[in-house]
Structure 1
Amino acid sequence: MMMFKSVSFVRSVACVMAVITALAGFFAGEAQAQARNLPLIRDAEIEGLLRLYTRPIFKAAGINPKSVKVYIINDQRINAFVAGGQRIFVNTGLLMQSDTPNEVIGVLAHETGHIAGGHLARMGVEIESASYTQIIGMLVGLAAIAGGIAAGSAEAAQAGQGVMMGSQGLAQRNFLAYARGMEASADQAALRYLTATGQSGRGMITLFEKLGRQSMAALQNADPYVMSHPMPMDRIRNLEEAAKKSKFYDTKDPPALVLRHELVQAKLLGFTSGPQAVMQRYPSSDQSMPARYARAIAMFRKGDIRNSLPIMESLTAELPENPYFWELKGQALLENGRAAEAVAPLEKALKLLPKNGLIQMMMAQALIDTGSAENSKRAIKLLRQAQQSEGQTSATYKFLARAYAQTGDIPRAELATAEAALLQGDRKLAVEKAKSAQNLFKKGTPEWTRANDVLTFASRD
């Protein structure tokens, strides 16, 4: 599992949280600046589960599954939102606090409804009809309301309503009415997708009920006309009435899917919380697969590899076809300075998931860390394969630079370092290394041209 920061424009479409950054076209630059602190998580297992959840929903919505990207945010609040077109962001809190896969699938179906309905683009048209002053008033008021709801503070939410009322106008009322209609439309679309895929709408309702209970105090005296979402109880009542009409309403999640969901929850707790929290949720008396998974992660993260490895081995023995158990064992060994031993379990993970870019990258890192030139040659091939699915990332170029250096290919090592620096925003280093690479390559070759491209981009004002 990897965590890092990313730049994205976000718009909240959680059940009861106000749409603050829906003012996309108008405030895109400011929103992107604020989103620089988004703590994104990369993990092969979690991303694989979300693909499993979304693929049939996307197909039911007439959307190419390959055209939508799903991102994971390390945030303990229950939330998910769409952003920048066909991007869905999912908080870890949604995954952690959901009781069933169906709850998460229901929310993802709702977000898919926003994408299929073109709601972000249509929202921009509505925004254009409001004046600059009115938009500012809405932005400030909605921010206060959303903050109050998220914190469970009725006073803060009511204060936000006051700001909204102070700058209220017909355009604002129309905008918010449109936003509420958009949310209701996404709800109904979600129910259609769930029915089309033979799944229940019950989870969507129970998840919204949780959010409703959490925000009840803050919304007690809220004016429904200054909310961007339908009031929770009204929304749940309408959803329940429609969902019960489906013949799949009582359909349960398959046991195998439930297990994968529980394993992801265990992994998230193990990686994002301390050992004490893990032991409270999964005491040693609990010998279930998710409990052992969480404890193994917590142990290796605190450096207790000696007690962690036997648990990991029990998991791989019990479910050898699970690639993520092998991946975890490889990661634990790698991060504890045992790169040579990490290669074998990572090879098994790759055999089960041969095209997974994240596992390819981890395998490449283990090969590089062995210090062997032959292993580094293999690592280069894996990293080039990883770029086909992961794209051009600074991490892949950093590993490539190390691998090329170990094989004695200094020109390509310099070029890879320049490309990594450019992607990280270090223009000074990018220029330095690109110039060095150009001096080492024959003019006009593909590598010389790439170095020249780095120089061009890094030298821009």
Structure 2
Amino acid sequence: MGRSHIDFRSLAARACALVLAVAVFMTGIGIRHLEAAGLPLIRDTEIEQLLRDYATPVFRAAGLRPDGVNVYIINAPTINAFVSGGQRVFIHTGLITECETPNEVIGVLAHETGHIAGGHLTRMQRQLDKASTAAIVGMLLGVATMVGAGLSGQGELARGGQGLMLGGQSLAERNLLSYARAQESSADQAAVKYLTATKQSAKGMIDLFEKLSNQSLASSVAIDPYVLSHPMPLDRVRNLEINARKSPYFDTPDDPALLARHRMVQAKLTGFLGSPQRVYQKYPTSDTSPPARYARSIVAFRTGDTRAAMVEIDALLQAQPKNPYFWELKGQALLEGGSPKQAIAPLRKAVELMPRADLTRVMLAQAMLSTEDPGLVDSAQQLLLRAKRTEADSPDLHAQLALSYARKNNIPMADLETAEVALLTGDYDLAKQKAKRSMAAFKRGTPEWIRANDILNVKTEDS
């Protein structure tokens, strides 16, 4: 897809496709390591804000600080979500595109919140510590393969998962799986509690689980329930529904405004991730709804037709002139279409309409620097330094900062920012080379010297 607002930081291979809400217990592993392991993360202001709006009431109901829980988006078509150490929730794009209503996604977020609030990661780690690490890793990989294959109807792959588990079904391992199933049931019940507290329905969770149950019914009947990390689908739906129907908010519908935003985000993901054929099948030119125009405008500039993209985007802006995401998209289409100077005005408008959108600031700075106008370098650099407060782990931000410092002939700072890019993208040799070079130019003890020294002393697998 190239560089775009939906920004892929994908390294190595694609992430494994797992079943809904498989909790991957990776306590203490940093995001940089998760990316290096093959998780293709997506960054997008609009999608992240929608998920944040979905999750914030649930986090508060669970007694968690919303700003203390990070939600990440993984480019994977499967219906799945999971949690890892450090209060992190990972959402697959397939969960967003395949769920018909916000309530379904919110239900999954509530379930994952139940894992975090219940301290399940720490408790599972203790259980893992009791067993052979090698055997458990093999077993968990087998379970993930089997359950994922079961939901997709791939019997051969499911048998392959069983092969991964050969020799791994000891009593200790079965006890661990039983413990994991209990945690999943606990998270389901916690989710109902949080949804009730926020006056939302758990019906979306049930609808989604029923959908998955119907898809997996034929393949799951042959799977031993005692080697699954989750309760069997039909049992899970039955137990969940009994509890959920007790809520006075069970029949509460989705907020129409939230549903409209959900549809727009689905269209955005389809436009960026789908083939042109799929986009036009789902959103034909006869469809003039905002989601359809959104998807078509994205696929147009993705395929090099900036003029067609402008027609669709301008129609969207005419109907909603204060929608920041439309201004942002217009700026992106112009920037990637080779017109950075024309991209500045719409991107400035987007930042004006959503002043906290630091990802958009990075794009605006890139447009300014791409014009090669010396008079715009200072403004671009100030935008990047402001965005650095929230986007310090963005390779794009550091790359643009390196360019801005180079344009001002500040080579030590350009080297330091290049070292940051190399560190974030896993090129540790280059990171240390650039850090060492920049460090020689800084006064000992200054923030820049300390940062360069930190990069120089980063421990890697080879060190």
Q: TM (normalized to structure 2)? A: 0.90
The worse-fitting range, judged by mean Cα deviation, of 289-298 and 221-230 is: 221-230
Aligned equivalents of 2:134, 2:395: Cα separation in 1: 41
Q: Are 1:286 and 2:287 counterparts?
A: yes
Name the aligned partner's letter for residue 247 of structure 2.
S
Shift of 1:374: 2.5
The aligned residue for residue 107 of structure 2 is 106
* Higher mean displacement: 98-107 or 372-381: 372-381
Q: Which residues of structure 1 form unaligned runs of 5+?
A: none
Q: Distance in 2 between matches of 1:362 and 1:35?
A: 24
Match of 2:7 in 1: 2
Give the CA deviation at 1:6.
Answer: 6.0
Distance 1:345 1:449 in 2: 38
Whole-angstrom distance in 2 between the partners of 1:406 and 1:133: 51
2-structure distance, mates of 1:35, 1:431: 18
Distance in 1, matches of 2:342 and 2:172, equals 64
Give the count of matched residue pairs. Answer: 455
Residue of structure 2 in register with 1:311 after alignment: 312
Question: 2:360 corresponds to which residue?
Answer: 359
1:42-441 map, 5 Å:
42-131=43-132, 135=136, 138-139=139-140, 141-154=142-155, 156-157=157-158, 160=161, 167-441=168-442
Tell me if structure 2 keeps the 8 A contact 1:323–1:348.
yes
Which amino acid is the alignment partner of residue 207 of structure 1? L
User: In the aligned structure 2, how far is the partner of 1:256 from the partner of 1:290?
Assistant: 13
Instruction: Classify 1:302/1:168 alpha carbon distance in 2 versus 1 (closer, same or farther; 3 Å).
Output: closer
Residue deviations 1:396-436, cap 9 Å, x none?
A: 22101111222333332233223322333334433443344
Contact 1:154/1:219 (<8 A) preserved? no
Matched letter for residue 271 of structure 1: F
Q: Deviations over 1:221-268 (max 9, x none)?
A: 222222111111111111112111111111111111011100000000
- Contact 1:7/1:36 (CA < 8 Å) preserved in 2? yes
Task: Tell me the CA shift for residue 84 of structure 1.
Answer: 2.0
Preserved contact between residue 341 and residue 367 of structure 2 (Cα < 8 Å): yes
Q: Closer, same or farther in 2 for the Cα pair 1:455/1:165, shift >3 Å?
A: closer
User: 1:414 & 1:58 partners in 2: Cα distance?
Assistant: 40
* Higher mean C-alpha displacement, 162-171 vs 253-262: 162-171
Counterpart Cα distance in 2 of 1:137 and 1:431: 35
TM superposition shift of 1:34: 9.4
Provide TM-score, normalisation by structure 1: 0.90
SS at match of 1:115: helix
Query: Amino acid of the residue matched to residue 240 of structure 2?
Result: L
Which stretch of the first structure deviates more once superposed, 159-168 or 171-180?
159-168
Say whether the 8 Å CA contact 1:137–1:163 is kept in structure 2.
yes
The 1:292–1:137 alpha-carbon spacing in structure 2 relative to 1, beyond 3 Å, is: closer
Question: Match of 1:245, SS?
Answer: coil
Q: Distance in 2 between matches of 1:136 and 1:445?
A: 44
TM-align CA RMSD: 2.9
Percent identity of equivalent pairs: 52
Equivalent-residue separation in structure 1 for 2:419 and 2:179 (angstroms): 48
1:167, distance to aligned residue in structure 2 (A): 4.6
Code of the residue aligned with 1:273 in structure 2: it is G
Aligned-partner Cα distance in 2 for 1:13–1:428: 34
* Cα distance in 2, alignment partners of residues 387 and 245 from structure 1: 47
Matched residue of 2:390: which SS? helix
Task: Return closer, same or farther for 1:358/1:162 CA change in 2, 3 Å cut-off.
Answer: closer
**Contact 1:296–1:311 under 8 Å retained in 2:** yes
Alpha-carbon distance in structure 1 between the residues aligned to 2:457 and 2:93: 39
Query: Once the 2 structures are TM-superposed, how far is the Cα of residue 44 of structure 1 from its aligned partner?
Result: 0.6
Q: Which amino acid aligns with 1:350?
A: V
Three-state SS of the structure 2 residue aligned to 1:388 is coil
Residues 253-284 of structure 1: CA deviation (Å, up to 9, x unaligned): 11110111000000000000121110000011
- Tell me if structure 2 keeps the 8 A contact 1:102–1:253: yes
Contact 1:153–1:217, Cα closer than 8 Å, also in 2: no
Q: Is the 8 A contact 2:11 2:39 kept in 1?
A: yes
- Shift of the 145–437 alpha-carbon distance from structure 1 to 2, 3 Å rule, reads closer
Looking at structure 2, the residues matched to 232 and 443 of structure 1 have their Cα atoms a distance apart, in angstroms, of 60
Q: Is the 8 A contact 1:5 1:36 kept in 2?
A: no
Task: String of CA shifts for 1:18-75, please: whole Å, max 9, x gaps.
Answer: x6x55x57x989xx68962111111111001000000000000000111111111111
Structure 1: distance between partners of 2:241 and 2:414: 59
SS at match of 2:89: strand
CA drift at 1:391? 2.0
Distance 1:391 1:33, change over 3 A: closer
Are the aligned partners of 1:270 and 1:297 in contact in 2 as well (CA < 8 Å)? Answer: yes
1:185: how far off? 0.5
The letter of the residue matching 1:90 is I
Deviation at 1:302, TM superposition (A): 0.5
Conservation of the 8 A alpha-carbon contact between 1:372 and 1:406: no
- Shift of residue 364 of structure 1? 0.8
Query: In the alignment, is the contact (CA less than 8 A) between 2:77 and 2:93 conserved in 1?
Result: yes
**Letter matched to residue 5 of structure 1:** S
**Is the Cα contact below 8 Å between 1:158 and 1:222 reproduced in 2?**
no
Residue-by-residue CA offset, 1:128-179 (whole Å, 9 max, x unaligned): 3334576366346425523531441345535655775855343233222211
